[in-house]
Structure 1
Protein backbone atom coordinates (compact mmCIF):
# COMPACT_ATOMS: atom_id res chain seq x y z
CA UNK A 1 0.00 0.00 0.00
CA UNK A 2 1.34 3.42 -0.95
CA UNK A 3 1.06 5.93 1.87
CA UNK A 4 0.44 9.58 1.05
CA UNK A 5 3.45 11.82 1.48
CA UNK A 6 3.83 13.17 5.00
CA UNK A 7 2.59 16.78 4.82
CA UNK A 8 5.52 17.87 6.99
CA UNK A 9 7.88 17.00 4.14
CA UNK A 10 5.95 19.16 1.67
CA UNK A 11 5.81 22.05 4.15
CA UNK A 12 9.54 21.77 4.88
CA UNK A 13 10.35 21.70 1.16
CA UNK A 14 8.26 24.84 0.59
CA UNK A 15 9.99 26.64 3.47
CA UNK A 16 13.42 25.73 2.06
CA UNK A 17 12.42 26.98 -1.42
CA UNK A 18 11.22 30.28 0.07
CA UNK A 19 14.41 30.63 2.12
CA UNK A 20 16.49 30.01 -1.01
CA UNK A 21 14.67 32.73 -2.95
CA UNK A 22 14.98 35.16 -0.04
CA UNK A 23 18.72 34.49 0.39
CA UNK A 24 19.47 34.84 -3.33
CA UNK A 25 17.32 37.97 -3.68
CA UNK A 26 19.21 39.53 -0.77
CA UNK A 27 22.55 38.88 -2.48
CA UNK A 28 23.59 35.89 -0.37
CA UNK A 29 24.60 32.41 -1.40
CA UNK A 30 22.48 29.34 -0.68
CA UNK A 31 23.95 26.06 0.54
CA UNK A 32 22.80 22.88 -1.18
CA UNK A 33 23.84 19.83 0.83
CA UNK A 34 24.54 16.64 -1.08
CA UNK A 35 25.59 13.48 0.71
CA UNK A 36 27.30 12.27 -2.48
CA UNK A 37 29.97 14.96 -2.05
CA UNK A 38 32.85 14.46 0.37
CA UNK A 39 31.94 15.39 3.96
CA UNK A 40 33.70 18.77 3.85
CA UNK A 41 32.27 19.81 0.44
CA UNK A 42 28.93 21.42 -0.36
CA UNK A 43 27.30 23.16 -3.29
CA UNK A 44 26.84 26.92 -2.94
CA UNK A 45 24.45 28.67 -5.30
CA UNK A 46 24.98 32.40 -5.91
CA UNK A 47 22.56 35.14 -7.01
CA UNK A 48 24.16 35.23 -10.48
CA UNK A 49 23.08 31.59 -10.99
CA UNK A 50 26.45 29.91 -10.68
CA UNK A 51 26.94 26.94 -8.39
CA UNK A 52 30.32 26.15 -6.89
CA UNK A 53 31.61 23.20 -4.94
CA UNK A 54 33.26 24.66 -1.87
CA UNK A 55 35.21 23.12 0.98
CA UNK A 56 34.30 24.10 4.54
CA UNK A 57 36.69 23.86 7.48
CA UNK A 58 34.44 21.81 9.76
CA UNK A 59 36.69 22.55 12.72
CA UNK A 60 35.99 26.28 12.32
CA UNK A 61 33.09 27.25 10.06
CA UNK A 62 34.12 30.91 10.30
CA UNK A 63 37.25 30.25 8.23
CA UNK A 64 36.80 31.21 4.56
CA UNK A 65 35.52 28.45 2.29
CA UNK A 66 37.80 27.20 -0.47
CA UNK A 67 36.37 27.02 -3.99
CA UNK A 68 37.00 23.55 -5.36
CA UNK A 69 35.25 23.99 -8.69
CA UNK A 70 32.67 26.11 -10.50
CA UNK A 71 30.01 23.96 -12.16
CA UNK A 72 29.09 24.35 -15.81
CA UNK A 73 25.56 25.58 -16.56
CA UNK A 74 24.47 22.02 -17.40
CA UNK A 75 25.96 20.68 -14.16
CA UNK A 76 24.29 23.47 -12.16
CA UNK A 77 20.93 22.69 -13.78
CA UNK A 78 21.44 19.01 -12.93
CA UNK A 79 22.14 19.86 -9.27
CA UNK A 80 19.02 22.05 -9.12
CA UNK A 81 16.89 19.29 -10.68
CA UNK A 82 18.33 16.58 -8.42
CA UNK A 83 17.58 18.65 -5.33
CA UNK A 84 14.25 20.02 -6.62
CA UNK A 85 15.60 23.59 -6.54
CA UNK A 86 14.39 25.66 -9.47
CA UNK A 87 14.70 29.29 -10.56
Structure 2
Protein backbone atom coordinates (compact mmCIF):
# COMPACT_ATOMS: atom_id res chain seq x y z
CA UNK A 1 0.00 0.00 0.00
CA UNK A 2 1.32 3.44 -0.94
CA UNK A 3 1.12 6.08 1.75
CA UNK A 4 -0.31 9.49 0.84
CA UNK A 5 2.18 12.23 0.05
CA UNK A 6 2.83 14.87 2.64
CA UNK A 7 2.24 18.51 1.70
CA UNK A 8 5.97 19.14 1.25
CA UNK A 9 6.30 16.01 -0.94
CA UNK A 10 3.42 17.24 -3.11
CA UNK A 11 5.09 20.64 -3.51
CA UNK A 12 8.42 19.00 -4.34
CA UNK A 13 6.75 16.76 -6.93
CA UNK A 14 5.08 19.80 -8.52
CA UNK A 15 8.40 21.69 -8.60
CA UNK A 16 10.23 18.77 -10.24
CA UNK A 17 7.48 18.38 -12.86
CA UNK A 18 7.69 22.11 -13.64
CA UNK A 19 11.50 21.92 -13.94
CA UNK A 20 11.20 18.87 -16.22
CA UNK A 21 8.65 20.58 -18.46
CA UNK A 22 10.73 23.77 -18.67
CA UNK A 23 13.95 21.86 -19.42
CA UNK A 24 12.35 19.86 -22.22
CA UNK A 25 10.65 22.96 -23.70
CA UNK A 26 14.04 24.73 -23.76
CA UNK A 27 15.50 21.83 -25.74
CA UNK A 28 17.47 20.33 -22.86
CA UNK A 29 17.40 16.72 -21.67
CA UNK A 30 16.13 15.87 -18.20
CA UNK A 31 17.69 13.23 -15.94
CA UNK A 32 15.33 11.10 -13.88
CA UNK A 33 16.40 9.02 -10.90
CA UNK A 34 14.30 5.95 -10.20
CA UNK A 35 14.93 3.36 -7.51
CA UNK A 36 14.12 0.51 -9.92
CA UNK A 37 17.33 1.22 -11.86
CA UNK A 38 20.67 -0.18 -10.70
CA UNK A 39 22.87 2.13 -8.65
CA UNK A 40 24.53 4.77 -10.83
CA UNK A 41 22.01 4.46 -13.68
CA UNK A 42 19.41 7.07 -14.61
CA UNK A 43 16.76 7.73 -17.21
CA UNK A 44 17.61 10.62 -19.54
CA UNK A 45 14.55 12.04 -21.26
CA UNK A 46 15.08 14.12 -24.40
CA UNK A 47 12.87 16.84 -25.93
CA UNK A 48 12.19 14.64 -28.98
CA UNK A 49 10.52 12.04 -26.73
CA UNK A 50 13.40 9.58 -26.67
CA UNK A 51 14.49 8.11 -23.37
CA UNK A 52 17.79 6.42 -22.62
CA UNK A 53 19.38 4.76 -19.63
CA UNK A 54 22.64 6.51 -18.82
CA UNK A 55 25.44 6.40 -16.29
CA UNK A 56 27.79 9.19 -15.31
CA UNK A 57 31.45 9.08 -16.31
CA UNK A 58 33.53 11.21 -13.98
CA UNK A 59 36.57 10.54 -16.19
CA UNK A 60 34.84 11.90 -19.31
CA UNK A 61 32.75 14.41 -17.34
CA UNK A 62 29.76 13.26 -19.38
CA UNK A 63 26.99 10.69 -19.55
CA UNK A 64 27.49 7.25 -21.06
CA UNK A 65 24.47 5.85 -22.88
CA UNK A 66 23.84 2.33 -21.61
CA UNK A 67 20.72 1.64 -23.69
CA UNK A 68 17.92 3.38 -25.56
CA UNK A 69 14.33 2.56 -24.68
CA UNK A 70 11.75 1.89 -27.35
CA UNK A 71 8.99 4.48 -27.70
CA UNK A 72 6.58 2.06 -26.02
CA UNK A 73 8.97 1.54 -23.08
CA UNK A 74 9.51 5.30 -22.73
CA UNK A 75 5.75 5.90 -22.73
CA UNK A 76 5.29 3.23 -20.04
CA UNK A 77 7.99 4.86 -17.86
CA UNK A 78 6.37 8.30 -18.27
CA UNK A 79 2.95 6.91 -17.41
CA UNK A 80 4.30 5.12 -14.34
CA UNK A 81 6.20 8.20 -13.12
CA UNK A 82 3.36 10.65 -13.82
CA UNK A 83 0.69 8.54 -12.14
CA UNK A 84 2.71 7.79 -9.01
CA UNK A 85 0.99 9.10 -5.87
CA UNK A 86 -1.70 10.96 -7.88
- Asked whether the two chains share a fold, i.e. TM above 0.5, the reply is yes
Check 1:8–1:65 CA distance in 2 against 1; reply closer, same or farther (3 A cut). same
Normalising to structure 1: TM-score of the pair? 0.81
- Residue 6 of structure 2 is matched in structure 1 by 6
Q: How far 1:62 sits from its partner (Å)?
A: 6.3
Check 1:73–1:5 CA distance in 2 against 1; reply closer, same or farther (3 A cut). same
Structure of greater Rg = 1
Normalising to structure 2: TM-score of the pair? 0.82
- Residue 24 of structure 1 is matched in structure 2 by 24
Structure 2 counterpart SS, 1:84: helix
Q: How many residues are matched?
A: 81
What's the RMSD between the two structures over aligned residues? Answer: 2.0
Q: How far 1:5 sits from its partner (Å)?
A: 3.8
- Residue 51 of structure 1 is matched in structure 2 by 51
1:68-83 alignment, distance < 5 Å: 68-83=66-81
Q: Which runs of 4+ in 1 moved over 4 A?
A: none
- Residue 64 of structure 1 is matched in structure 2 by 62
Structure richer in strand, relative to its length: 2
> Where does structure 2 lack aligned partners over 5 or more consecutive residues?
none
Q: How far 1:54 sits from its partner (Å)?
A: 0.7
